[in-house]
Amino acid sequence: MINIEDANRKAVENMMEARPVVVGVAPAKEVIPGMTDDLLLHAGPPVTWERMAGPMKGNMIGALLFEGKAKDAKEAEAMLASGKFKFAPCHDYASVGPMAGVISPEMMVYIVEDQVFGNKAFSGLNEGRGKVMRMGAYSEDVIQRMRWLNEVFGPTVDAALKNSGGVDLRSLLGKALHMGDDGHNRLDAASILFTTVLAPHVSKVAKNSDIAFDVLKFMGENALTILNPVMAGCKTASMAAHGVEGSTVVSIMGRNGTDFGLKVSGLGDRWFTAPAPHVKALYFAGFTEKDANPDIGDSVITETTGIGGFAMAAAPAIVTFIGGTAQDAIRTTLDMYEITTAEHKYYTIPYLDFRGTPTGVDIRKVVEKQLPPRVNTGVAHKDPGVGQVGAGVVSMPMSAFEDALIAFADKYGI
Amino acid sequence: MSVIKAEIRSGVYYDSAVLMQLQRSLADLPGVEDAGVIMGTPTNKELLVRVNLVTTEVEQAKENDLVIVVRAGDERAASDALQRVDELLSARKSSIQQDYRPRSLEGAQSMMPDANWVLISVAGRYAAGVAREALRLNKHVFLFSDNVPVEEEISLKAEAAQKGLLVMGPDCGTAMINGIGLGFANKVRRGPIGVVAAAGTGLQQVASRIDQLGGGMTFGIGTGGRDLSEKVGGVTFLMGLDALSRDPDTKVIVLVSKPPSPKVADQVLRVARKAGKPVVVNFIGRTPISRRVGNLFFASGLDDAAALAVELAKSPPVLEVEPDLKLERFAPGQKYLRGLFSGGTLAYEAQHLLTEYVPKVYANAPINKENKLKDSLVSVEHTIVDLGEDEFTVGRLHPMMDNDLRIRRLMEEANDPEVAVILMDVVIGFGSHPDPASELGPAIAEAKAKAKAEKAGRYLEVVVVCTGTEEDPQKLSHQIRQLKQGGAWVETSNEAAVRYAGQIIQALNQPLDEAQSSAAPVDLEILKKPVKAFNVGLESFAENLTAQETPVIQVDWRPPAGGNEKLASILERMKKLSAS
């Protein structure tokens, strides 16, 4: 007979004890197990080209242009529709991608190693905010930035990381939450800390001072520099928590812009999906909710493992970005305690007298209280080629949690 | 010899103020001499060397490692201290959250772990689920909701009884706990009177009258109207009564109910007899037979109950010590009483008084027709026979003059293995037999000896009321002496004799199933703590508590799974699985 409480305790304990360290940067095809030349990884649960959301199509097109596999968008689109390429969730390949989250074989990815359980996870290089490929943009300037990231930034950061012996994400994030970050949408402090740690090593390993200058300038100016390594770090925590027999803890949540999907620790590899919700957002000048694509991205892995929207009470400044009051930020965190299993041992919130962040979503509690996880997120334009149009808060769709609960009862004969 | 123990944690970040606090908390633990909590920088490690807090592990710690080290009087104290690190780190609860309304009792619990009451007024079909959750969290429950199925009430109360928790309700309108009113309640002065009531407005009326009459209350424990039904069995009522019996601040107990099940009422009264303090009883609709039985004071109404309680609190009555019934003398199977009277009125009063002790007494001249003996010569269960009735005196002297018939019947009854007590009267004076005890005394001795000689070795108690005076020709004391020589228990008051006999048969007919025996006693220390509550349902109940300066958290409750029954039932099964 299963003991759900014990199983959940174990799953969340693993989630919290995972200790991710960023150790290097390398091309996806060299490090991601199972990566092949015709494989394109994307955010969220599985999706076909026909059902694929605009921004993800844009990211796919951008990836082929970037890899030189297609001459122009039209050709890329035809190739993608032809069935020549396989699409698969990043999550099924130990990876995570923000927004559309496409990882193609030549793209450089961060390598994050969990020092406790030995898992490795991967995520691409962050391009910054605005008109970027992960939001579906693929104009020439976007492709050029990706090339520079891949050819100059990536190798330099890889050498710097190796020279530093790696950057411990758990302690860095713990500190960043005390500096006003939520660990998902607000990573200003964490990105600065990351830059500060790596700067001496970059200056040492860079081929010349111009490169060092460019790399450090880009890192320092991009408040989301550390988002991708953080997501990969969270992915290692998710991997440690997954596969505990009898556990109702959610180990994965992700959206592909068409569907939302989740996996449960005690329910194996099955995705539970529901239509991706619309984001309640603030829009950039010139855009409205009519331009917005439904919710998209793997970045919800941060909330899945106890930070991001769940740690909003640590990041009152974020409310200006997503609209709302500081009290809303606190209420969001307090609400999330209602649907989680534990308070994080290593991530704490000063304003709540250093209470640990709510960690380990329990499908039972979500369904019982009809209180879905809340996520802070960026909003992409629904058409390929445009990019980000706003940011806001969104609740994950309840029906996926309900389906998972029923499947759990079936599997365990409850 | 001091012991130094250290723990190194890698990949963690704590604010330095938190580390300093932890260091201080560790140093305050029993047996700990000194403690250090630092990041493993060279400067910090030098500091530890200076205060003798170094181990090889500490020496090897890196700059980013968190070093926790204690020096203690012995090994045990050092390990105990290190084991408490996580607990100390998490033992900081926020005061910021006051405006927040949690979605569940569990959420409320994390905000106010020492709450002791949960008030529930959600729709009936959800109420039991919420109450069960409250019991899981070890809280007393004030269950205002009605339309809760009786089966749910029974199972909730059984669960609560096991944990020594009160479930007041369902359909409980009012309670007063340590001067704080829950639900509909009056502001009543505090004082020495404790009330248990299965009647909401009954409790409010009694409480208000107590206050108006200058008295005051410790507790007003509501039970819900169904508690004293046969099905529910008075679980909460009995637990409340027991708690008030043990509460040193409660000097007088008042029991109020609409007409209870006779069986449960009997049990309540039996337990009340052992309260060790005056108990005022007002079971509306059940006319008291006497004003007082031992420590029990029967009131004629709610107002009378209040007045009586205030009076008893002011001038405490002397409570007699209960006679030891020595039940161990009786053999298994002995349980019935047989009354062999010569006096009709005495027989009639005996029947009346016995209704307080046993459900049914048969008689040849019964107080109501249903109890009439089919054959006056053959006793059934508990039987009172008036041998002075015409049917026995045709062609024969009245039993006050002739003892033959009674002695013969005495021997017959003594032969019945189910008989435990024989109750008789001896009426002397002019006209009566010149020396009845000279015949009855030896007969009693013979009857008792016969019972004792049997294989089973029965004990027969013969109780005699002797009516007469010292100046009577037969002389009262002379009669009593002879009866006592025969082994009889002799009284001069009919009521005293009947009540003594009644207590014995009541006890013998009470298998040891005192329903309470399975209930854990309510922890008085917790019950007497100031009320801190969670409120689920009617917001006005929370507002009332706030007005009484009582801490309360309003839970923003919704039906489980949004009212989806399939999902809710899966969740409930999962909870049962977790609880088992």
**CATH number for the domain harbouring residue A53:** 3.90.1710.10
A381 close to A293: Cβ distance less than 8 angstroms: yes
Q: What is the pLDDT of residue A295?
A: 96
B574 → chain A, closest CA residue: A414
User: SS3 for B519?
Assistant: coil
For residue B103, list chain A residues with Cβ-Cβ distance below 8 A: 335, 338, 369, 371
Of A185, A203, A230, which residue is a domain's last? A230
Q: What is the pLDDT of residue B13?
A: 76
Q: Looking at the predicted structure, is the pLDDT value of residue B344 above 70?
A: yes
B12 vs A1, A174, A351: nearest CB: A174
pLDDT in tens, B493-524: 999 999 999 989 988 887 655 544 578 999 99
The pLDDT confidence band at residue A322, using thresholds 50, 70 and 90, is: low
Mean pLDDT of A153-174: 97
The answer to whether the Cβ–Cβ distance between B96 and A330 falls below 8 Å is yes
The answer to whether the Cβ–Cβ distance between B570 and A406 falls below 8 Å is yes
Domain range for A298 is: 243-412
Q: What is the mean pLDDT of chain B?
A: 90
Q: Is residue A68 part of a domain?
A: yes
A335 vs B92, B103, B570: nearest CB: B103
For residue B143, the distance in angstroms to the closest alpha carbon of chain A comes to 21
Mean pLDDT of B32-39: 90
Structure tokens given for B405: 């018939």
Q: Is residue A238 part of a domain?
A: no
Q: Of all residues in chain B, what percent carry a pLDDT higher than 90?
A: 64
DSSP state of B141: E
Q: Looking at the predicted structure, is the pLDDT value of residue B97 above 60?
A: no
pLDDT in tens, B142-185: 999 999 999 999 999 999 999 999 999 899 989 999 999 999 98
For residue B121, the distance in angstroms to the closest alpha carbon of chain A comes to 18
Taking the C-alpha atoms of residue B183 and residue A282, their distance in angstroms, rounded to an integer, is: 45
The pLDDT confidence band at residue B336, using thresholds 50, 70 and 90, is: very high
Q: What is the pLDDT of residue A323?
A: 65
Residues A251 and A393 in one domain: yes
B577 → chain A, closest CA residue: A3
pLDDT in tens, A19-70: 999 999 999 999 999 999 999 999 999 999 999 999 999 999 999 999 999 9
Q: What is the pLDDT of residue A226?
A: 97
Structure tokens given for B105: 């009792």
Q: Is residue A237 part of a domain?
A: no
* Burial class for B43, CB neighbours closer than 10 Å (0-12, 13-18, 19+): exposed
Residues A340 and A226 in one domain: no
pLDDT in tens, B445-499: 999 998 888 776 899 999 999 999 999 999 999 999 999 999 999 999 999 999 9
User: SS3 for B402?
Assistant: coil
Residues A193 and A49 in one domain: yes
For residue B93, list chain A residues with Cβ-Cβ distance below 8 A: 353, 355
Q: What is the pLDDT of residue B406?
A: 93
Q: Looking at the predicted structure, is the pLDDT value of residue A347 above 70?
A: yes
Q: What is the pLDDT of residue A341?
A: 97
Residues A201 and A269 in one domain: no
B12 vs A171, A370, A409: nearest CB: A171
Residue A100 CB coordination number (10 Å): 32
Q: Is residue A12 part of a domain?
A: no
In chain B the domains, ranked by start, together with CATH numbers, are 3-90 (3.30.70), 102-171+520-580 (3.40.50.720), 172-314 (3.40.50.261), 327-508 (3.40.50.261)
Residues A301 and A361 in one domain: yes
Helix axis angle, A227-241 to A169-177, nearest 10°: 110
Q: Looking at the predicted structure, is the pLDDT value of residue A321 above 80?
A: no
The pLDDT confidence band at residue B98, using thresholds 50, 70 and 90, is: low
For residue A402, list chain B residues with Cβ-Cβ distance below 8 A: 561, 564, 567
Task: Describe chain B by its helix, strand, coil percentages, rounded to 5.
Answer: 40, 20, 40
The pLDDT confidence band at residue A315, using thresholds 50, 70 and 90, is: very high
H-helix or E-strand spanning residue B386: strand B383-386
| Number of domains forming the structure of chain A | 2
H-helix or E-strand spanning residue B490: strand B489-491
Structure tokens given for B242: 């027991």
Q: Point out the least confidently predicted range of A173-187, B81-95, B236-250.
A: B81-95
Residues A258 and A126 in one domain: no
For residue A414, the distance in angstroms to the closest alpha carbon of chain B comes to 7
For residue A370, list chain B residues with Cβ-Cβ distance below 8 A: 558, 561-562
Of A230, A251, A279, which residue is a domain's last? A230
For residue A5, list chain B residues with Cβ-Cβ distance below 8 A: 578
For residue B561, list chain A residues with Cβ-Cβ distance below 8 A: 367-368, 370, 402
Residues A89 and A213 in one domain: yes
Residues A202 and A297 in one domain: no
User: SS3 for B480?
Assistant: helix
Q: Looking at the predicted structure, is the pLDDT value of residue B90 above 80?
A: no
Residues A203 and A295 in one domain: no
DSSP state of B325: -
CA atoms within 13 A on the CB side of B347: 21
Q: What is the pLDDT of residue B515?
A: 45
The answer to whether the Cβ–Cβ distance between B18 and A354 falls below 8 Å is yes
B104 vs A21, A369, A405: nearest CB: A369
Q: Is residue A5 part of a domain?
A: no
**CATH number for the domain harbouring residue A320:** 3.90.1700.10
Q: Is residue A6 part of a domain?
A: no
Residues A198 and A330 in one domain: no
A11 close to A265: Cβ distance less than 8 angstroms: yes
Of A204, A230, A256, which residue is a domain's last? A230
A414 vs B102, B562, B570: nearest CB: B570
- Binding-site residues on chain B for chain A (CB distance < 8 A): 10-15, 18, 64, 86, 89-90, 92-97, 99-100, 102-104, 106-107, 110, 558, 560-562, 564, 566-568, 570-571, 573-574, 577-578
Q: What is the mean pLDDT of chain A?
A: 95
* ∠ Cα B187 B191 B195 (to 5°): 75
Residues A30 and A128 in one domain: yes
Q: What is the ipTM, given to two decimal places?
A: 0.87
Q: What is the pTM of this model?
A: 0.74
For residue B574, the distance in angstroms to the closest alpha carbon of chain A comes to 7
In this structure, the strands spanning A86-89 and A374-380 are unpaired
pLDDT in tens, A297-306: 999 999 999 9
For residue A359, the distance in angstroms to the closest alpha carbon of chain B comes to 14
DSSP state of B372: B
**SS3 annotation, chain A:** CCCHHHHHHHHHHHHHHCCEEEEEEEEHHHHCCCCCCCEEEECCCCCCCCCCCHHHHHHHHHHHHHHCCCCCHHHHHHHHHCCCCEEEEHHHHCECCCCCCCECCCCEEEEEEECCCCCEEEEECCCCCCCCHHHCCCCHHHHHHHHHHHHHHHHHHHHHHHHHCCEEHHHHHHHHHCCCCCCCCCCHHHHHHHHHHHHHHHHHHCCCHHHHHHHHHHHHHCCCCCHHHHHHHHHHHHHHHCCCCCCCEEEEEEEECCEEEEEEHHHCCCCEEEECCCCEEEECCCCCHHHECCCEECCCHHHHCCCHHHHHHHCHHHHHHHCCCHHHHHHHHHHHHCCEEEEEEEEEEHHHCCEEEEEEEEHHHHHHHCCCCEEEEEEEECCCCCCEEEEEEEECCHHHHHHHHHHHHHHHCC
Q: Looking at the predicted structure, is the pLDDT value of residue A244 above 70?
A: yes
Count Cβ neighbours within 10 Å for each residue of B345-368 and write b for 16 or more, e otherwise.
ebbbbbbebbbbbbeebbbbbbbe
- Of A335, A404, A409, the closest CA to residue A372 belongs to A335
Q: Is residue A2 part of a domain?
A: no
The pLDDT confidence band at residue B78, using thresholds 50, 70 and 90, is: very high
Helices (H) and strands (E) in chain B, counts: 21, 22
Residues A173 and A75 in one domain: yes
Q: Is residue A133 part of a domain?
A: yes
B219 close to B245: Cβ distance less than 8 angstroms: no
